[in-house]
Structure 1
Amino acid sequence: MDRRESLRTLVMGGMASGLFLTSCVSDKKSPVEEGDILEERENYGRTPEEIERDEELMSETFFTKEEMAMIANLADIIIPEDEESVSATEAGVPEFIEFIVKDIPEHQLPMRGGLMWLNRESSKQFDRSFVEVSKENQLKIIDQIAYPQDFEKTSPGPTFFRRIKNLVVTGYFTSEPGFKYLDYRGNTPNVWDGVPEHVLKKHGMQYDLDLLKHAMDPSTRNEVMNWDDYQV
């Protein structure tokens, strides 16, 4: 099992059920009305005070450009692009982390301190900052703190890596690409095509095939059946 699949398994195991809400919009709605509906969807479930606070946080900046570059590198090391989905940076994970550390200030000191430590460690081992060393050397440092059996017991590196890994995974699997990768559909109805055949056989039962054609045709599942049209 690869790293992305391992993360997917962890997320699916702990994910709570959600609800995706959509509004019925007529084709005759004006652009202004459609825009109002879109804004209502985006702000659904939030109070005016919460919306105001989000806007205030979005207008602020915490990480420097160099720190954001480091976060982007780390995010793509943790969740790189593959044939199934996009990388963490393409899913907007660095921006998510920037928002979260402003929304939850207790992350600020550990994150900034961890990035400083990472730069010092990179300079000590390779005489360059983390973003300046090769991808191979970046992975050498990450392997040391991701699997720290032989690393310095007092090093803050492993603790920092666990924190940023959790933030990256949370940001990725709550993004649109992350939802698509998980095939997470929320409260979306599926198609029921009847009791499975092996269950019917177990109980010695079977469907009336003529009834089955009328009552369990997935292509007509959104239509109300007119039982007068069905002759027993």
Structure 2
Amino acid sequence: MFHRKLTALDYHNPSAFDCTDTPTCHLCSDDTQYRNCVVWLEDQKIRHYKIEDRGNLRNIPSSDWPEAYQKYLQDLNCPFGAQEKQESVDWLMGLAVRYEYGDNGDSPDFKAGVTALANILKIQRHDDYLVMLKAIRILIQDKLSSEAITKASHKQEGIPVALDKHVLGFDTGDATLNEAAQILRLLHIEELRELQTRINEAIVAVQAIIADPKTDHRLGKVGR
């Protein structure tokens, strides 16, 4: 469950990281690895403490480390405690990803991708592209939620689509976001097709009325 986040953070050997809910023991291998990861997240990504204030957290062999970690979590307003190993470290990884994203979020290519995606989804432009990204996320969650998918499946039988054959036209820098954008683009195209079909049907109906009007002779008058 941590591999993807650690990979995104360029953590060394993310696939080898292991964290269990078993009680921690002083200096057991898993606990040492866990503590090292927490310290790495603080040192390299989160940087909540000043360097000189990280001593207790960096003192991994200390029996007082759990207390230092608990204080660290409280200082970060983490909703989980030190005893909740998986939940707390996952929360820290998520925080680190957000900070890392914030550090590198001013990439022109990334901004262009967010803007292009917002245009496709007809989301109002905003000076803060992070606000636009949040709006995109909300829309994606709404469109791709289990309820929305279930509702759509009841309307018509789905047709398998190979996303890799549909060129997105830009790169957001995130594979998941790219795939979501492709799906939303296809949904948008389908909506446009449905709208065009209804417009064509309306035009045909109007043409039929014009070509063969039903004359009400009661309304006709000759002369004055």
Q: Which TM-score applies when normalising by structure 1?
A: 0.25
Larger relative contact order (C-alpha < 8 A, sep ≥ 6)?
A: 1
Greater Rg, structure 1 or structure 2?
A: 2
Q: Which TM-score applies when normalising by structure 2?
A: 0.26
